[in-house]
Amino acid sequence: MKKIKLGIIICDRYKTCAGGKCFRSLQRREGAFDRYADNEEIELVGYTTCGGCPGGNIEYAPEEMKKNGAEIIHLATGLIVGYPPCPYLEQFKSFIPEKYGIKVVVGTHPIPEKYKVTHDAMKTWNTEEWQENIAPTLSDEQTRLDYN
């Protein structure tokens, strides 16, 4: 069985989050975790916040995760569903692979329906770039409702 080691970085405004939705979706292979096959073992080797705007922890946390074997870092769904969405997301997506050689995936758990409704109404995600960012976590409506 192939073992994949990954880390999760969440938005600092959710720093007290216990990770329930992320861990549930990781276990169920939902949202951005549906990319991993059922025969792949996944080990979470790091979980932390970005450190707050402008993401000071992004400079250091990936290094520790890499030392723990992380091959992939997921930027948590909170970075895209919070309002406003993370204004530094694109920088995080390019900095981490450039500095640490670690692949970055945007998203963890499926986007809850209540956030989709709000962002659709506000047209927050109406650009090609944002459509690409939310694609891994958009899921179907029933799954989004399950994560409300």
Residue 113: exposure state from Cβ atoms within 10 A (0-12, 13-18, ≥19): middle
Question: pLDDT tens digits for 30-57?
Answer: 999 999 988 899 999 999 999 999 999 9
Architecture of domain 2-146: 3-Layer(aba) Sandwich (3.40)
Mean pLDDT (the chain, rounded): 96
What is the pLDDT at residue 36? Answer: 96
The domain ranges of the chain are 2-146
pLDDT of residue 39: 84
pLDDT band at 109 (very low <50, low <70, confident <90, very high): very high
3 state DSSP class of 104: strand
